[in-house]
Structure 1
Amino acid sequence: MIDTTTGTGACPRCAATTVSLWDATPWCAGCEWNLDAYDPERRASEFGWAWVDRWTYRLAYRMTTRQFDRLVGRPLDDPGPATARLVTAIASMLLLGGALALAVTGVWLIVAFSFPNPSVVLGVALLGLAYALRPRFGRLDEDLTVLSRDRAPELFALVDEVAAAIGAPAPQVVGVDGDINAYAGTVGVRRRRVLCLGLPLWGSLPAQERVALLGHELGHFVNGDPRRTLLTQPAVTMLGSAADLVRPVRTVSGGGIAELVGTALANAVQWVLAGLLFGAHLLLVSVALRDSQRAEYLADELAARVAGSPAACGMLDAFLAEESIALAVRRESRAGHGPDRWRAAVAGSRSAAAERLPLLRQLSVREEASLFATHPPSGLRRRMLAGPPAHEPTVELTDERMARIDAELARDYEQVRREVSWSG
């Protein structure tokens, strides 16, 4: 239900009536006055201090909207200034060099002196530290059900068609799981390309929005997202791992006054060092994620090129209705129904919420702004696609072909239906 304020709630900028959803701080739907308001009742604390959370939110909101203003109306294929990518890449190389130096020093301390020698202990410690700080290349999710071409030829054919249409390499692993989500990425030292489709989301989308979803996810293989490149990955993981390593852990209790004083001093030093490392980690992550958000806009653009602008916009609106999708899928699953009924139920809930969609898009700009958000707010992503040029679909998925794909996934749909039915 939409609560509309009147009287003293009138917009001081344009005198229009302010609006609110779910008791959020009111804003003006026309000129967007007060849309940037910090709403602590509806935001999870990121740092634990109200004044810091308020300041970082204001900074994130300004950075997010300025990036949108800078990108809107220009070709998204052009990455623009490379400052964020350059900083992230340099930081990654320095961190990798530091970890390698630790490893080399550790080996030297072990082999350069005869055993037994205290240097051996230090060398082993340095090797252990280098190992703990090593880059993580990721692995396949344990919940991912990997599909084969023989089992799902229609789905693989569609994936290949969409990949070719946007100029992206086809994924080497295609799988499904039970989340209301989808993702694409690379895992392992060999950097295998992985595409995962969450069946509650996939089964709830109409045909052309499924093409848009594939276009967006496969677009991550060509959009320059720093989270998915080997060169920049250390910058977003290594300092966080280092902060966890040096953070003090309570292991003993009791002891004399000298032990208590020594422990307190050691803890103080560790907390300061952990704080500095974690602060540097947050700074690098926030820099890298500016470029990551630009990459998301480009992935949306690729989705529009392959599926058509209306379908891509519809897909983004579906992300705003995640709770409605979850409720509809759970209700229909408990009634014993599969993706056909999921899709009909979700379409009904989206139709019922159509009048408040513009407000949901605006509110998302406030509520999804964060220094550490991997995606731009859904409302800004939708707004970016709504402007010219409008794209016609280059890949069309017919209802008959969609039905054949769903038939290939019938066993997986049934498993997800049971899991959803049993969930709380």
Structure 2
Amino acid sequence: MIDTTTGTGSCPRCAATTVSLGNATPWCAGCEWNLDAYDRGRRAGEFGWAWVDRWTYRLAYRMTARQFDRLVGRPLDDHGPAAARVFTAIASVLLLGGAAALAATGVRLILAFSFPNPSVVLGVALLGLAYALRPRFGRLDADLAVLTPDRAPELFALVDEVAAAIGAPPPQVVGVDGDINAYAGVVELRRRRVLCLGLPLWGSLPAQERVALLGHELGHFVNGDPRRTLLVQPAVTMLGSAADLVRPVRSVSGGGIAELLGAALAHAVQWMLARLLFGAHLVLVSVALRDSQRAEYLADELAARAAGSTAATGLVDAFLAEESIALAVRRESQAGHGPDRWRAAVAGSRAAAAARLPLRRQLSVREETSLFATHPPAGLRRRMLAARPWHDPAVRLTDERMARIDAELAREYERIRRDVSWSG
């Protein structure tokens, strides 16, 4: 249980009493003084050096706050050219050109000389390197249980309704897994649209928040999220792959002094090259994720258009209750209960934590900020929704229809229930 602490001091800005949750560094709930503090005890290190982690956190906090301030008063579906998007696209083109040049040079060396010849060996190596650096198009997750319209007609009909409500194309693959999560993406060279619903999350949500979840995930097919586009894939994958390829591995354990010195020199060169490549990879990823966070704000807006603003804001708050959802689902699953009891237990847990929810939203702004976060902090997502025009539901899911959908998924629910019970 997370306890609220008050009386830990006075805010030097507005003189109000500061607050905290658990052992978090106190802040002012009124003016948010000290909310941007780097709380080392509650953050996992990202780089391994405390001073670097502190500096990158502060940079990320400023960038996240600046992006929120820039977007809160303008249309979120403005996909005009942004600096992050242009930079990432140019980097991808250059990286693809570099990989193509490696492959072309390899082919030329192989064809220009007869075997055996060192140039032929080098050509084969260059072709292998170009293949290793190729963009990854993704594939279906092995844990995804793919559904069919015949197997779950009510669910597919609801997905189609929500897609139509937000102007998104329907997914070509719909499946479920056992995570407290959901995702939408495109995979393979054919760029098949995939929607995955984590049943512990899906089964724990009330009806309209399920519609909001579908609206958010399907919104990724139309919100300009750079992570779903082919052009950005090289920028976010190729340099990381190159860093893995050149990372040094100690393989010399004996031999003469010359061999040991040569191995040490090679190790030093590989170490430096791997760090340089990985550093460039981090820069490209952090830049690309700025635009991904804008896309998440738009996905929330699309969720509100489909399910109504009340349901969309409730869904964002549900993400803050992930630990409570996990505990409730595990407890009820071990007792042999399914989604009806999951939903009741989660509702009770969320109601009990309602008084702390405003502080939990504020604390999320500190704790979920990172250069490498794919999503804005839940607290800022909630504020963004509250600042947008209010929406009534375009798609309404009745309790009766929700029950029919859950009945279609009974076999999958039972499998997940057993898995959750055994994992506990």
- Same fold judged by TM-score > 0.5? yes
- Identify the residue that residue 286 of structure 2 maps to in structure 1: 286
Deviation at residue 257 of structure 1 after TM alignment: 1.6
What is the one-letter code of the residue matched to 1:243?
A
Paired residue secondary structure (2:155): helix
Deviation string, structure 1 residues 200-247 (Cα, Å, up to 9, x no partner): 000000000000000000000001111110011110000000011111
Q: Percent of counterpart pairs with the same letter?
A: 86
**Paired residues for 1:31-46 under 5 Å:** 31-46=31-46
- Identify the residue that residue 60 of structure 2 maps to in structure 1: 60
Deviation string, structure 1 residues 305-325 (Cα, Å, up to 9, x no partner): 110000000000000000000
Deviation at residue 3 of structure 1 after TM alignment: 3.8
- d(CA) in 1 for partners of 2:42, 2:254: 43
Deviation string, structure 1 residues 170-215 (Cα, Å, up to 9, x no partner): 0000000000000000000000000000000000000000000000
- d(CA) in 1 for partners of 2:175, 2:129: 35
Deviation at residue 81 of structure 1 after TM alignment: 5.0
Query: Which stretch has the larger CA shift, 299-308 or 254-263?
Result: 254-263
Q: Which runs of 5+ in 1 are unaligned?
A: none
Q: Which runs of 5+ in 2 are unaligned?
A: none
Runs of 4+ that moved beyond 3 A: none
Paired residue secondary structure (2:272): helix
- d(CA) in 2 for partners of 1:406, 1:3: 37
- Identify the residue that residue 233 of structure 1 maps to in structure 2: 233
Deviation string, structure 1 residues 272-294 (Cα, Å, up to 9, x no partner): 11111111100000100000000
Paired residue secondary structure (1:394): coil
What is the one-letter code of the residue matched to 1:74?
R
Paired residue secondary structure (1:6): strand
- d(CA) in 2 for partners of 1:191, 1:375: 23
Deviation at residue 252 of structure 1 after TM alignment: 2.2
Paired residue secondary structure (2:231): coil
CA contact (8 A) 2:219 2:299 kept: yes
- d(CA) in 2 for partners of 1:81, 1:300: 21
- Identify the residue that residue 333 of structure 1 maps to in structure 2: 333
Deviation at residue 74 of structure 1 after TM alignment: 1.4
- Identify the residue that residue 2 of structure 1 maps to in structure 2: 3
**Paired residues for 1:10-29 under 5 Å:** 10-29=10-29
- Identify the residue that residue 421 of structure 1 maps to in structure 2: 421
- Identify the residue that residue 299 of structure 2 maps to in structure 1: 299
- d(CA) in 2 for partners of 1:260, 1:252: 7
What is the one-letter code of the residue matched to 1:301?
E
Q: TM-score, normalised by structure 1?
A: 0.99
- Identify the residue that residue 260 of structure 1 maps to in structure 2: 260
Deviation string, structure 1 residues 361-413 (Cα, Å, up to 9, x no partner): 00000000000000000000011001241111100000011000000000000
Q: TM-score, normalised by structure 2?
A: 0.99
Deviation at residue 5 of structure 1 after TM alignment: 3.9
- d(CA) in 2 for partners of 1:388, 1:296: 14
**Paired residues for 1:105-254 under 5 Å:** 105-254=105-254
Aligned residues: 423
CA contact (8 A) 1:187 1:194 kept: yes
Paired residue secondary structure (1:237): helix
- d(CA) in 2 for partners of 1:265, 1:39: 39
**Paired residues for 1:312-331 under 5 Å:** 312-331=312-331
